Amino acid sequence: MKAAFELAQRDGAAGLTMRRLGEELKVDATTLYRLFRDRDELLLAVHDHATAVELEEIGEVPDSEHWQDTLRRIADRIWATAVRSPAIAALTFARTTGGPAERRMVELILETFARSGLSREATVRY
């Protein structure tokens, strides 16, 4: 994932192909098809990796942190990722990965909204 992410950052989303990633890793591209069904699945995995990086950058959320400050930090990290990797952000903006990092991010956002005092239903809606 690290190599695919770096390749996408360096060469843009169009540069992220199985062949190019295979060259980068010094493996035959067919090897990558054992891990990813197609380029789209690879792209979503790269997006989930980017979300994992965002979560690392956000770090632990102290209990004392105001919920609005937490949301600002989350938004800041997501924006920073989009600036670092605009092509990936553009191709995956409205997509869901279903990956572990995305699930952790959703949980963090839900927990943050819950701290605002919203009802459970409003928390999920917003």
Place of tokens 């994932």: 1
- Please report the pLDDT score of residue 126 as a whole number: 81
Beta strands in 2-125 (DSSP E): none
- Report the mean per-residue pLDDT for the chain: 91
Domain count, the chain: 1
Which pLDDT does position 86 carry in this prediction?
85
Positive or negative torsion for Cα 72, 77, 80, 85: negative
| pTM of this structure | 0.84
C-alpha gyration radius of the chain: 17
Tens digit of pLDDT for each residue in 79-126?
998 998 887 887 788 889 999 999 999 999 999 999 999 898 998 888
Contact predicate 105/70, CB 8 Å:
no
Q: In this structure, what CATH number is given to the domain that contains residue 46?
A: 1.10.357.10
One-letter identity of residue 10 = R
By residue range, what is the domain housing residue 45? 1-124
